[in-house]
Amino acid sequence: MKIIAVNGSLVPGGNVDALLEHGLGEYDGDPRFEVRRFALAGLEINPCRQCNWCLRKQEPGRYCSQDDGMTDVYPELLDASGLIVATPVHIGRLSGTTADFLDRFRVFVHGNITRGAMRNKVGGSLAVAWFRNAGIEQALISINTAFHVLGMVVATPDLGVHGAGAFSSLDGTGARDGRDRLLVKRDEIGMASARSLAYRVGELASLLEAGRERSEEG
């Protein structure tokens, strides 16, 4: 089963990356899962133009009128069992880059070929905020809303309600340690929630895959 992991931060090797990678460690050594990573910092992801091209003109291998970073992402999503999206919290919500990425999933809602293609795949959300009450839940809910629109199965961790959330300041207070740029690693509960979320994505994907296999045998 393929798990797609997307880092929506524009800071390579930053706190969002650290949280996501810690969560993905859940799949290390598990032969059931293949993890495919995408960092939006290294991709050109244009906003959705709402041009409606995908409604009528899709053909195999071309699902959107725009030829940018999503051209390589779409086939991987079609082949995936699960999707994990991680975002920094910007002004109380998910980052604009992450929002643009999710907006491009319109091809899976209206596309003449890809309509409904994300249905019953598993989705999980992660978010990193600088301090408490800064918008982690809003960011997670925004990602989960996209999953709901797509008919996906939303995974939630044992340590969290909407997804995995962590702070990139000391105890979520906004305090810094100039010697350490990855303070999210000191948020033990936040890091544990990321691992728990990844476990749940894998668990649900496995259950759905087993159900599909039983259905085919029947």
Q: How would DSSP label each residue in the chain?
A: -EEEEEE--SSTTSHHHHHHHHHHGGGTT-TT-EEEEEEGGGS--PPP----HHHH--BTTB-SS--STHHHHHHHHHT-SEEEEEEEEETTEE-HHHHHHHHGGGHHHH-TTTTTTTTT-EEEEEEEESBTTSSHHHHHHHHHHHHHHTTPEEP--SS-SSSEEEESSBTTBTB--TT-S-GGGG-HHHHHHHHHHHHHHHHHHHHHHHHHHHHHH-
pLDDT score for 205: 98
pLDDT score for 46: 97
Look up the CATH number of the domain holding residue 85: 3.40.50.360
* Mean per-residue pLDDT pooled into runs of 10, the chain (218 residues): 98 97 98 98 97 97 97 98 98 97 98 98 98 96 98 95 97 94 97 98 96 81
pLDDT score for 51: 97
- Please give the tally of structural domains in the chain: 1
pLDDT score for 98: 98
Note down the domain range covering 186.
2-217
Q: Structure pTM?
A: 0.96
